[in-house]
Amino acid sequence: MIIRVIGTFERTEPAERGILRCTAAHEAGDPAQAMAVAQSLAGRVREAIESLDAGSVKRFTLNAARTSSWQEAGADGAPGATRHRVEVDITAVFTRLDLVGAFAAAWGAEPGLLVHGVEWALSDETRQRHADAVLTAAVHEATRRARVIAAASGAGEPRIVEVRDPEAGAPGAVAYSSEELRQRYGAGARYSWSAYPLESSVDVAPSPIVIAAAVEATFEA
């Protein structure tokens, strides 16, 4: 008797990282002006991040400028002025989750800066520490299901024949946020930023991270 089952397991852990992504952008008729303003804004964001307490940010990246140009058309369809846009993508990985919301709120009000939101994550060390245990538990769950099916069918003890990762090429265990970012504005710690004169009161509720694994297993009983 051949028994095919899927074994799954998941474990929930509190978020340890807040990944903030934003873009400094400016549009102008003069390409040099567009570049200068966008890079200046990106530089101010970098200075604000570097001014935070040591250990508050694990990693910070400032990508090369991205440019685009187009020609506007007049009401009569005639060619108009040429416009230029420059964008600089910024990513900051916060280890201090209590700072993410205040920083995003303060700089989200800055003209020219688009805050894309926050992605919650685990540290690499935590994810690796739980990955093997979660994958092992998924195999145990597949074995348990096979035994239940074998017993209900009047067959003997099932013997495992094959175990397959349903997502070929993917890690055995993956970590993801269980729900989208939720931010509550109101009571909470208050922060003020010298780089941007805006005091924000933000209570951020990070989504828990689910470490999950699934296997497809074939048994013979």
pLDDT of 201 higher than 70: no
Mean pLDDT calculated for residue range 38-67: 94
The H or E element containing residue 36 is: helix 31-50
Nearest to 69 by CA among 41, 30, 39: 30
**Contact by Cβ (8 Å): 81, 29:** yes
Name the architecture of domain 1-16+123-221.
2-Layer Sandwich (3.30)
Per-residue model confidence (pLDDT) at position 203: 58
Q: With bands split at pLDDT 50, 70 and 90, how would you rate the model's confidence at 153? A: very high
pLDDT in tens, 70-127: 998 877 778 888 999 999 999 999 999 888 888 888 888 899 999 998 899 999 889 8
> Within the chain, which residue ranges are assigned CATH 3.30.110?
1-16+123-221
Name the architecture of domain 17-121.
2-Layer Sandwich (3.30)
Q: Which residue has the higher pLDDT, 108 or 166?
A: 108
DSSP state of 209: E
Q: With bands split at pLDDT 50, 70 and 90, how would you rate the model's confidence at 136? A: very high
pLDDT of 188 higher than 50: no
Per-residue model confidence (pLDDT) at position 174: 58
Q: Which of 49-53, 163-167, 177-181, 186-190 has the lowest mean pLDDT?
A: 186-190
**Contact by Cβ (8 Å): 188, 170:** no
**Contact by Cβ (8 Å): 22, 113:** yes
From the centroid of its chain, how far is CA 179? 11
**Contact by Cβ (8 Å): 172, 131:** yes
> Within the chain, which residue ranges are assigned CATH 3.30.70.2970?
17-121
Rounded Cα distance between 176 and 207, Å, is 9
**Contact by Cβ (8 Å): 127, 205:** no
Mean pLDDT calculated for residue range 32-45: 96
Per-residue model confidence (pLDDT) at position 159: 93
Mean confidence (pLDDT) of the chain:
83
pLDDT > 70 in the chain, percent = 83
CB-based burial label for 42 (10 Å; 0-12, 13-18, 19+): buried
Mean pLDDT calculated for residue range 166-193: 42
Per-residue model confidence (pLDDT) at position 172: 52
Per-residue model confidence (pLDDT) at position 18: 93
Structure tokens at 185: 């504005």
Nearest to 189 by CA among 197, 201, 199, 198: 201
pLDDT > 90 in the chain, percent = 58
Per-residue model confidence (pLDDT) at position 193: 32
Rounded Cα distance between 49 and 80, Å, is 40
Q: Which residue has the higher pLDDT, 75 or 162?
A: 162
